[in-house]
Structure 1
Amino acid sequence: MQSGFTFKEPITIGTHDGVFHADEALACYLLQKIPQLKNAKIIRTRDPNVLDKCTILVDVGDIYDPKRHRYDHHHRDFTHTLCSIRPEYPNKKIIKLSSAGLIYAHFGKEIISQILSNSKLTKGDFKLVYLHVYEDIVEELDGIDNGIKQCKAGTVFRIHTNVSNRVDKLNPYWNSSTAVNIQELFYKAMELVGKEFEEAVLYRANVWLPARHLVKESIEKRFDVHKTGEIIELANRCPWKEHLRTLEKELRIIGKIKFAIFQDCTGEWRVQGVPDGRNCRVLLRDDWKGFRHEELSKKSGILHCTFVHADGFIGGNLYRDGVLEMAKRSLNYHKKMKQQQQNKFKSKKLNDNREHLKKLNLSN
């Protein structure tokens, strides 16, 4: 995937000198990931005569003009978000871009393609990876550099170990008497934030995305597991809850799935209720909660049970058929309890109406 830009040699990337931050460090790192720019010289200065001669400027110059490769975000009329440059991401219209976000918006797809050169992603998968890498690291740098508050109300504590803080601490200390090469420190900052970026790309493509495919497949096959479609079976243990929420929304089946069954790392099987906020949509049976092994098997009538958590959100069995039966019986139990509650409510309402009519007759 090519950006469509060509650059005349020698290529130079200009940014400001003095105190450096994570956004321009990442911007410079990303630019050097583009094959034609990998040997580009980085010039740190505020001298306008020097900057004017640079091939690309980031985070300096008070100009945003991609045709001239000027990528600053500090001028008053700058309002761009990822959505305004990449309309295919309409929800990304709140956080104003920093120099990192600008370079990512214009060159991110080519850069990700370079990092994932051995991966074959579909167009849809690539779009997802691009969005989530932005959310994982670039959006954070955009928000911090533009002074956007993470929370509307006050925070209980502050985080001092994020990548922006770690980059800031690479700057020379104000009271240090030791001579330092600030250009070398800037290169360290580029390496630090660049490593975080590449790890985010590789995680999304190689760990997160396969889990999404696995969960989607389990949703598509849910009626093979149980006729109601309320139980999914994961072919492999993986992080599934976030994917299930997202995919339910995409497939317009929000709230339909109640349990997930899967084999854990020990070879035993688990049944877990699908979270819905702080609670689960359906829990395992109330009369099983807190019991284990033979006592649980005797109480449930299901062989080889290992446990049910005291809160009822997860349980275990040595075998697949066991956890599937635990899920089925819990579904039936809660449907029966719900029906009983509805019948009780209807009966109470009917009795109330009768009493009301009786009182009316007596008054007449």
Structure 2
Amino acid sequence: MAESSAKRLRTDAGAVTIGTHNGHFHADEALAVHMLRMHIPTYLNANLIRTRDPALLATCHTVVDVGGEYDASTNRYDHHQRTFSTTFPDRATKLSSAGLVYMHFGREMIARRLQTAEDSEQVALIWRKIYESFVEALDAHDNGISVYDPAALAAAGIEKKFSTGAFTLGAMVGRLNANWNDAVPEDPVAAQAAEDARFVLASQRIGAEFDRDLEYYTSAWLPAREVVVGAFNERAGYDSEGRIMVLKGQSVPWKDHLYTLEEEQQGDEVKKVLYVLYPEKPGPGARWRIQCVPETKDSFQSRKPLPEAWRGFRDEKLDEIASIDGCVFVHAAGFIGGNKTFEGALTMAQKALE
């Protein structure tokens, strides 16, 4: 029996219609709908139908996460069919509806934000970065792909030390579904409307997190790249082997860009950066920080921690131990320290290299 068209959520009678499935909703279609409705002009004020009725889905301009078909030429973006194996370029994770929509429309979203051409280098850089840092986790979650190989973890005897509360992006959306014992309206149309309202809230919630990432990578992360490139190219002025990098004006997000620059120059046998120096705030008279570069972006292990003898000490006592004036502190874990002046922080870095 065909589902009633009263189950549609309408926002504008003249707009196109996006179809997705009703019932229990997930982060992938919630984000896919948000990206289309909020960032792509064709879909602004789009109607939304949540249904599994093929007849109703056939009336939709675009269908995501239902229908058993992936065909961008007809705006069909499902990933549940047995033959589906599409991945984002150069990534191994099978796509969900979020990944499909992002792969096809992400560059347009980013180009519109940057007001530049879709085929620009900046768009390509952010397109890949947002996929790897945000969307891929949703693809993996929806396709049942673990971050680590469970068999390898079991073989190594590795167990979690504490619960993270399972608060992932997917779980955040999942919690907005109705509980099993929540009251449900007896009228089917009213029940579907209540479920649809929960989905809209979920789409807005995951969408707000996506929008924060889009804003961050276009307005803060990308401009930081130019700063890091300049500092990276000037490393030899502070250490002949290029192991000290100085951010002169103020600190910027540097880790992603540093690792990328090092990877690009691997063939040149360039020494890796061990310490990054930056002022605590812009302007004259600012104190300076010396931060150790982690082994990887998310690692707590530094490539070369600050000397053990300095760790946990402050001010005059640290000056005495390090034989350096103006010391402020060195963290007990040895990954960061401070000095009242740039010259003092640079001396700390140069001595730490010995």
1:237 aligned partner = 251
2:64 corresponds, among 43, 58, 64, to 58
Corresponding position: 1:267 with 2:265: no
Q: Distance in 2 between matches of 1:171 and 1:311?
A: 42
CA contact (8 A) 1:81 1:95 kept: yes
Q: Distance in 2 between matches of 1:285 and 1:40?
A: 59
Q: Distance in 2 between matches of 1:161 and 1:311?
A: 28
1:18 corresponds, among 7, 13, 23, to 23
By how many angstroms is 1:283 displaced?
A: 4.6
By how many angstroms is 1:279 displaced?
A: 4.6
Secondary structure at the residue paired with 2:277? strand
Paired residues in the alignment total 315
CA contact (8 A) 1:20 1:186 kept: yes
Corresponding position: 1:43 with 2:68: no
Aligned sequence identity (%): 40
Corresponding position: 1:215 with 2:228: yes
For structure 2, the 5+ residue unaligned runs are 1-13, 154-158, 186-190
Q: Following superposition, which runs of at least 4 residues in structure 1 exceed 6 angstroms of deviation?
A: 119-122
- Between 61-70 and 297-306, the greater mean CA deviation after superposition: 297-306
CA contact (8 A) 1:245 1:254 kept: no
2:40 corresponds, among 34, 55, 59, to 34
By how many angstroms is 1:117 displaced?
A: 4.9
CA contact (8 A) 2:27 2:138 kept: yes
For structure 1, the 5+ residue unaligned runs are 1-8, 84-89, 335-364
Residues 276, 23 of structure 1: alpha-carbon distance in 2 compared, 3 angstrom cutoff = closer
1:134 aligned partner = 131
Q: Distance in 1 between matches of 2:69 and 2:329?
A: 63
Residues 309, 40 of structure 1: alpha-carbon distance in 2 compared, 3 angstrom cutoff = closer
Secondary structure at the residue paired with 2:258? helix
Corresponding position: 1:315 with 2:320: no
Q: Which residue type is aligned with residue 109 of structure 1?
A: R
Instruction: Kindly report the root-mean-square deviation, in angstroms, between the aligned alpha carbons of the 2 structures.
Output: 2.7
CA contact (8 A) 1:255 1:281 kept: no
Q: Equivalences for 1:48-87 in 2 at 5 Å?
A: 48-83=54-89
Residues 238, 10 of structure 1: alpha-carbon distance in 2 compared, 3 angstrom cutoff = closer
Residues 297, 45 of structure 1: alpha-carbon distance in 2 compared, 3 angstrom cutoff = closer
Q: Deviations over 1:159-192 (max 9, x none)?
A: 4322222222222222222435222222111111
1:194 aligned partner = 207
Q: Distance in 2 between matches of 1:27 and 1:208?
A: 24
CA contact (8 A) 2:20 2:50 kept: yes
Residues 48, 140 of structure 1: alpha-carbon distance in 2 compared, 3 angstrom cutoff = same
2:109 aligned partner = 111
Residues 231, 41 of structure 1: alpha-carbon distance in 2 compared, 3 angstrom cutoff = same
Residues 144, 283 of structure 1: alpha-carbon distance in 2 compared, 3 angstrom cutoff = closer
1:248 corresponds, among 262, 267, 271, to 262
Q: Distance in 2 between matches of 1:121 and 1:197?
A: 19
By how many angstroms is 1:158 displaced?
A: 5.5
TM-score, normalising length from structure 1? 0.77
Q: Deviations over 1:309-358 (max 9, x none)?
A: 45554433211112222322333xx2xxxxxxxxxxxxxxxxxxxxxxxx
By how many angstroms is 1:119 displaced?
A: 7.8
Q: Which residue type is aligned with residue 112 of structure 1?
A: I
TM-score, normalising length from structure 2? 0.79
Residues 287, 77 of structure 1: alpha-carbon distance in 2 compared, 3 angstrom cutoff = closer
1:297 corresponds, among 319, 323, 348, to 319
Secondary structure at the residue paired with 2:196? helix
Q: Which residue type is aligned with residue 261 of structure 1?
A: L
Q: Deviations over 1:217-264 (max 9, x none)?
A: 111111233444332111212343343223211222554323222222
Secondary structure at the residue paired with 2:63? strand
CA contact (8 A) 1:306 1:315 kept: yes
Secondary structure at the residue paired with 2:325? coil
* The structure with more radius of gyration: 1
Q: Distance in 1 between matches of 2:313 and 2:196?
A: 63
2:98 aligned partner = 100
